[in-house]
Amino acid sequence: MVFSSLLFIFAFLVPCMIIYTWVDDAKKNKVLLIFSLIFYSWGGPQYLILLLADTFASWWFALQITRHRKNAKQYLIGECIVLLGLLGIFKYTVFFCSNLQALIGIPKVIPQIVLPIGISFYTFQLLSYVIDVYRKEVKAQPKFWKLLLYSSLFHQCIAGPIVRYETVANEIDHRTISQKDIYEGIRRFCVGLAKKAILANGCASVADTLLPFQQSALQSQAITGLWLGMLFYMLQIYLDFSAYSDMAIGMGRMVGFHYLENFNYPYMAHSVQDFWRKWHISLSTFFRDYVYIPLGGSRCSKGKYIRNMAIVWFLTGMWHGASWNYIFWGLYYLLFLLLERFVYGNRLKPVWSHIYTLLVIYVGWIIFRFENSSQLLTVLAGMIGIGNHAFTSMQVHTLFLENIFFLLFCIIACTYIGKGIRNGLYMIGKTNGIIYRLYTWGELLLPPVLLILSVLALIGNSYNPFLYFQF
């Protein structure tokens, strides 16, 4: 069940909010827990056992750390072994077995293991909780069901953002909801829904048409088709994932949880380092606080700094998927981050630095998209004219003309322009009654209009997955 489905909106979210509003405060958390467990089990009831087991292990290890401080490190190691072990079994067994089979011929039969939805996200959340208890940054949660609520909240347990326990620890037991929270939550959800249902899905349609996962089709695609297809994919992956985060943050706000932002207009970055401060912020923060800084961060020798960065970016690539292209993608960013630090730094002028950053990101998404190495090399070679690729074709020309205004709107949606217009109208409206009324009516009408447009877009649309569900 995905957020951008009519089933979720009208058969799950609406009943959840009605019941949540109707019950007294003492029962609100239990309502959220029940709905969260139903939501997670919808994609495979058998994997609910795994979520329960991971949460129970984290709950027990955290309590033992609190009670037995002398042996705290042993319990922390136990937590890491259990959670990372389970993550490794489910996410990487097939990958390692496939590579071993290619190298030495064993095992003869590769086990078929289905990846549980959201396992990377809730594993990292629970790890951060136990580590923070070990560091005495948060208190251990004495009630198992409340920790289960934290790990399974349907707003964010499937595809993030990765919510630190300290962010919501107080709000689990003590939260109030104002009219502003409800409005901002509904507005944020509707914006995310429209971003996904209208923009991301539209980009996906064009990207998949121009860049199908078929070797023969890629070999025959025109050069301009490869470039245009990747441009739409670059827009799709941001609009898709940031839309999920918008909806998660919005739904959390509706019930009094204030999740931190996960995206901050990453395509407006002026360096690769700046991009990773703005993209998937919760993941970058996790690796910074729990891997990079404990290894020594940047306060060490040049050699150790490079080692620390290499470990972080290898793990970042591995986290995204059990395939070599994700590892290469992580190491690709490592290369440019090291170049920025040791070679050219801030020497590029702002305009050129922005263009350079977008080009690095663009090529990075090519590596990210294609797990098949043959397809990846075909696209990379074709984009620079290597192979039997025509420069353009009637299909590419037609698709471009049909989607030119849609493309421009998607590009604008990735910038500060919309936010700037909203803030500008608000500031002018403080001294201008007409502008204030326009601003007020616009704020009131935006959520229902976006909801209606999104529902219309979703009716009959068979393609509607979230890209980050696979991670």
Choose between 45 and 216: higher pLDDT: 216
Q: CA-CA distance, 256 to 185, in Å (whole number)?
A: 9
- Buried residues in 211-245 as b, exposed as e (16+ CB within 10 A): beeeeeebbebbbbbbbbbbbbbbbbbbbbbbbbb
Mean pLDDT of 10-35: 94
What is the DSSP-derived secondary structure letter of residue 49?
Answer: H
Mean pLDDT of 353-379: 95
- Please check whether residue 154 is in contact with residue 35, taking contact to mean a CB–CB distance below 8 angstroms: yes
Residue 38, token pair as written in the block: 């139903």
Residues 6+ apart with CB under 8 A from 330: 313, 314, 315, 316, 317, 318, 320
Q: What is the pLDDT of residue 176?
A: 86
- Please check whether residue 161 is in contact with residue 248, taking contact to mean a CB–CB distance below 8 angstroms: yes
- Of all residues in the chain, what percent carry a pLDDT higher than 90? 76
Model's pTM, two decimal places?
Answer: 0.93
* DSSP characters over 382-399: HHTT-SS--S--HHHHHH
- Please check whether residue 63 is in contact with residue 31, taking contact to mean a CB–CB distance below 8 angstroms: no
Q: CA-CA distance, 340 to 348, in Å (whole number)?
A: 10
Q: How confident is the model at residue 293 (pLDDT cuts 50, 70, 90)?
A: very high
In this structure, of 57-61, 73-77, 296-300, the range with the lowest mean pLDDT score is: 296-300
Per the annotation, the verdict on 320 as an active-site residue is: yes
Of 155, 270, 320, 389, catalytic: 320
Q: What is the pLDDT of residue 464?
A: 57
- Please check whether residue 164 is in contact with residue 259, taking contact to mean a CB–CB distance below 8 angstroms: no
Q: How confident is the model at residue 66 (pLDDT cuts 50, 70, 90)?
A: very high
Is the pLDDT at 325 greater than 90? The verdict is yes
Cα-based angle 336, 339, 342 (whole degrees, multiple of 5)? 150
In the chain, where the domains are located? 6-175, 181-271+346-458
Q: What is the pLDDT of residues 105-123, one digit of tens each?
A: 888 888 888 888 889 999 9
Mean pLDDT of 193-214: 94
Q: How confident is the model at residue 466 (pLDDT cuts 50, 70, 90)?
A: low
- Of all residues in the chain, what percent carry a pLDDT higher than 70? 98
Count of other CB atoms within 10 angstroms of residue 461:
16
Is the pLDDT at 470 greater than 60? The verdict is no
Q: What is the pLDDT of residues 247-288, one digit of tens each?
A: 999 999 999 999 999 999 999 999 999 999 999 999 999 999
Q: What is the pLDDT of residue 236?
A: 96
How much is the mean pLDDT over the chain? 92
